[in-house]
Amino acid sequence: MALADADASVDHFAGEPAALFDSSGQRLDLTVLGQAECQETYGQSAISRDMLCASPSSPAGACPSGSSGAPLVLAQESGQEVQIGVASWGPSSCLPAPEVFADVAYIRTTVDGEGKLQF
């Protein structure tokens, strides 16, 4: 599934100003970026195949923090949400730079039926 330019959201975690989130105060809207665009920001060696990046849809959301482990979800046309990432890391300061997520689909293909990583 091509995710670049898809609209996604991440749940509110402690440490993030609630003003950055939707009207419920629980979600931050993000736009998923292509691998090359993310590598332009952080460098090719910093962004591997098991990562994906997303940027806040609004410049006001350029400083989320404390979200490590938060699910990145993509809403399907049916309204059902699918988890596509897990928040990992982002810029160390309030720069308008993308957040980095573990790519759930990629990682899932490297885990066998017994929960062991396949290399």
Contacts for 112-117: CB closer than 8 Å, 24+ residues apart: none
CA terminus-to-terminus distance, the chain: 23
Tokens of 111: 């885990």
* Mean per-residue pLDDT pooled into runs of 10, the chain (119 residues): 65 48 62 91 92 77 64 86 88 76 83 59
Q: For 11-45, what is each residue's pLDDT tens digit?
A: 654 444 444 444 455 677 888 998 899 999 999 99
pTM: 0.73
Which CATH number does the domain 7-108 belong to among 3.90.660.10, 2.40.10.10, 3.60.10.10, 3.90.1200.10? 2.40.10.10
Tokens of 62: 């350029």
Give percent of the chain above pLDDT 70: 59
